[in-house]
Amino acid sequence: MNEQEIIGSVTRALHRGTRELDAATVARLSALRHHAVTHADTPIRGGSGTLAWTQRHTWISGLLVILLLFAGWTYMHKQELASGVDTDLLLLTGELPPGVYADRVFAPWLQGYRR
Amino acid sequence: MASPQEIDAFLAGAERRAFKQAVYAVRDHHHALDIVQNAMLSLVERYREKPPEQLPLLFQRILRNAIHDHFRRARVRDFWVRLVSPLRDKDDEHGETLESLAGHLESPQRDGPEQRSSGNEELAIIEAAISELPARQREAFLLRYWEELDVAETAEAMGCSEGSVKTHCFRAVAALAEKLKIKGISP
């Protein structure tokens, strides 16, 4: 069997395979083609929904993510400041629970905190 | 610029072969239809400004990329499924991808209905032999001899050199000859 005979034999069989596709698949392919050609002007990619919207509006989505991150960072920073103020108040008024003074790590922490 | 009628006529002539190419690659009827759909949409959305004579090569490149995207997505999905699945079996943790799993789907009952209905043993053997070829050899063989692209066009569609195309084609033909000989099929 030489090379050309093999190529001819295989391609003839493959062509026959495409001709013998079942009717349902042929109809489905035809419907897909019709959809693709007739909806060329409609943005189909991604479908509908939030994910599809973000895919179509990459810049706005990116900006929203950055704003969300900034808002999160600001919130965390404010919480940290408020926590510091609370600690100062507790230390100054001596309202810490007695068990705190028995904690071995409290004294070194207090030294560092005063600095 | 290709008119909608020209694009429709081109796709009507190419869609069955495109579907078969996708089936040979992914070995799944439904995934193959999805791939062809994506390729058709990409061609119409992005390349309808191109002249009609460029459509065959463009469509082949798009189809090839769509098949590769399918495997890429499958690998990512497979990775996350394995990572989060509490039911995963230790025996499965050897990096088996969906692409490799596709290689195990060779039994006739798992093939698409187009193969079951053909009832042609010789055709089934030849199609199985095509599916079993390494991906690059299969791509080169189908583009060069089935789609009848020349060597330069095949190289462009595959993103490789003309020398590589010739090598892949030569190896594909040799592998097919061997497989068909074992199965007792002569031209």
Of B40, B145, B186, the CB nearest to A36: B40
Q: Are residues B20 and B66 in the same domain?
A: yes
Residue in chain A lying closest to B15 (CA): A29
Q: For residues A80 and A86, give the distance between their C-alpha atoms in angstroms, rounded to a whole number.
A: 10
Q: For residues B174 and B172, give the distance between their C-alpha atoms in angstroms, rounded to a whole number.
A: 5
pLDDT for the residue numbered B107: 42
Whether residues B33 and A29 touch (CB distance < 8 A) is answered with: yes
Q: For residues B13 and B16, give the distance between their C-alpha atoms in angstroms, rounded to a whole number.
A: 7
Question: Does ipTM come in above 0.85?
Answer: no
Q: Are residues B144 and B170 in the same domain?
A: yes
Q: Are residues B88 and B19 in the same domain?
A: yes
Q: Are residues B185 and B104 in the same domain?
A: no
Q: Are residues B134 and B79 in the same domain?
A: no
Q: Residues 7-26, chain A: which have Cβ within 8 Å of B?
A: 7-11, 13-22, 24-26
Low-confidence ranges of chain A (pLDDT < 70): 1, 40-52, 55-56, 114-115
pLDDT for the residue numbered A86: 79
Whether residues B12 and A30 touch (CB distance < 8 A) is answered with: yes
pLDDT of residue B67 exceeding 80, the answer is: yes
End-to-end CA distance of chain B: 42
Tally the domains of chain B: 2
Q: Are residues B129 and B183 in the same domain?
A: yes
pLDDT for the residue numbered B16: 95
- Please give the residue that has the higher pLDDT: either A53 or B117: A53
Per CB-CB distance under 8 Å, the chain A contacts of B126 are 9-10, 13-14
Q: Are residues B103 and B134 in the same domain?
A: no
pLDDT for the residue numbered A58: 79
Whether residues B112 and A25 touch (CB distance < 8 A) is answered with: yes
Q: For residues B77 and B182, give the distance between their C-alpha atoms in angstroms, rounded to a whole number.
A: 37
Residues whose CB is less than 8 angstroms from the CB of residue A73 and which lie 6 or more positions away in sequence, other chains included: none
CA distance B101 to chain A (A): 24
pLDDT for the residue numbered A71: 93
pLDDT for the residue numbered B90: 52
3-state DSSP helix/strand/coil percent for chain B, to nearest 5?
80, 0, 20
DSSP per-residue string spanning B48-93: TTS-GGGHHHHHHHHHHHHHHHHHHHHHHHHHHHHHH-TT--GGGT
The two tokens of residue B37 are 């759909």
Residue in chain B lying closest to A34 (CA): B8
Q: Which of B138, B184, B146, B133 is nearest to B165 (CA)?
A: B138
As a whole number of angstroms, the longest Cα–Cα distance in chain A is 99
Whether residues B177 and A14 touch (CB distance < 8 A) is answered with: no
Reported as a single tens digit per residue, the pLDDT across B135-156 is 999 999 999 999 999 999 999 9
- Please give the residue that has the higher pLDDT: either B48 or B36: B36
pLDDT for the residue numbered B134: 94
* Full residue range of the structural domain in which residue B44 is found: 1-118
Q: Please report, for chain A, the start and end positions of each structural domain, with discontinuous segments joined by +.
A: 1-42, 51-115
pLDDT for the residue numbered A77: 84
Q: Are residues B97 and B124 in the same domain?
A: no
